[in-house]
Amino acid sequence: DAGVIQSPRHEVTEMGQEVTLRCKPISGHDYLFWYRQTMMRGLELLIYFNNNVPIDDSGMPEDRFSAKMPNASFSTLKIQPSEPRDSAVYFCASSLWAQGYGYTFGSGTRLTVV
Amino acid sequence: ILNVEQSPQSLHVQEGDSTNFTCSFPSSNFYALHWYRWETAKSPEALFVMTLNGDEKKKGRISATLNTKEGYSYLYIKGSQPEDSATYLCAHSHTDKLIFGTGTRLQVFP
């Protein structure tokens, strides 16, 4: 298995533009998580899905952020419009069963909004 | 939100030294405690998942213990090597999601 695949690895965009981050989880994993890494808060959970259904989006900072999981092999995190304070590394992780198994993280997308 | 605290925030040791870090977490409604190793410019990698009070896990020179009654876990590295330099994260399972601590950044000098 190629692991969790995220794209793009790096994204530089101008303030106000729409940004879409993509994630392909490990096949067979039924949980998918989006995290954001910042200096202030470390790894911050934004949203997670179980069997493609969003379970908890309480970590999504505001309405500019949205996430979808149209099928078991693909998820997107969209920011519209983007702002400089959104600059961070965004990680996607998947897990077979959240309680007893570790998460497998993707390589992350480093987003810079100028 | 259930806070996970890690200490120290950073640690500098000489090659060959043994070291340990602490993770404290809420002891009520415990499900599992995870340890991850996170190298710079890479993604976190799972080290251990512990679910039972008294659990001890070992992988090479790295080991971890768990006390769910008092809400803490220790991670030990015996004979630290420069390649052990990384941030070590612990995370507490709360329902279906993991709440991460901010990590202990370890730097091992040759």
Please state, in angstroms and rounded to a whole number, the distance separating the CA atoms of residues A28 and A95.
Answer: 9
- Residue B84's SS3 state is helix
Please state, in angstroms and rounded to a whole number, the distance separating the CA atoms of residues B92 and B90.
Answer: 7
Question: Using an 8 Å Cβ cutoff, are A9 and A74 in contact?
Answer: no
Q: Which of A25, A104, A86, A55 is closest to B49 using CA atoms?
A: A104
A5 touches chain B (CB under 8 A): no
Any idea of the CA torsion for A79, A45, B5, B57, to the nearest 10 degrees?
-140
User: For chains A and B, what is the number of CB pairs under 8 angstroms?
Assistant: 55
Burial of A95 (0-12, 13-18, 19+ CB in 10 A): buried
- Estimate to the nearest angstrom the gap between the alpha carbon of A102 and the chain centroid: 17
Q: Do A91 and B96 touch (CB under 8 A)?
A: no
Q: What is the pLDDT of residues B28-83, one digit of tens each?
A: 878 889 999 999 888 899 999 998 899 999 999 999 999 999 999 999 999 999 99
Provide the pLDDT confidence category of residue B2 given band limits of 50, 70 and 90.
low
Q: Do A41 and B102 touch (CB under 8 A)?
A: yes
Please state, in angstroms and rounded to a whole number, the distance separating the CA atoms of residues A82 and B28.
Answer: 39
Please state, in angstroms and rounded to a whole number, the distance separating the CA atoms of residues B107 and A9.
Answer: 26
Is a pLDDT exceeding 60 seen at residue A98? no
User: HEC string of chain A?
Assistant: CCCCEEECCEEEECCCCCEEEEEECCCCCCEEEEEEEECCCEEEEEEEEECCEEEECCCCCCCCEEEEEEECCEEEEEECCCCHHHCEEEEEEEECCCCCCCCEECCCEEEEEC
Q: Which residues on chain B are in Cβ contact (under 8 Å) with A106? A: 43
Question: Nearest-CA distance from B15 to chain A in Å?
Answer: 27
Mean pLDDT of A84-113: 89
Provide the pLDDT confidence category of residue A99 given band limits of 50, 70 and 90.
low
Question: Shortest CB distance from A102 goes to which of B43, B49, B96?
Answer: B49
Supply the Cα-derived Rg of chain A in whole angstroms: 13
The token duo for A50 is: 């179980």
Q: What is the pLDDT of residues B14-34, one digit of tens each?
A: 999 999 999 999 888 788 899
Q: What is the pLDDT of residues A30-76, one digit of tens each?
A: 999 999 998 777 889 999 999 999 999 999 988 999 999 999 999 99
Please state, in angstroms and rounded to a whole number, the distance separating the CA atoms of residues A36 and A16.
Answer: 19
B33 touches chain A (CB under 8 A): no
A99 touches chain B (CB under 8 A): yes
Nearest residue of B to residue A6 by CA position?
A: B43
Q: Which residues on chain B are in Cβ contact (under 8 Å) with A43? A: 44, 89, 100
A37 touches chain B (CB under 8 A): no
A100 touches chain B (CB under 8 A): yes
Q: Which residues on chain A are in Cβ contact (under 8 Å) with B34? A: 102-103
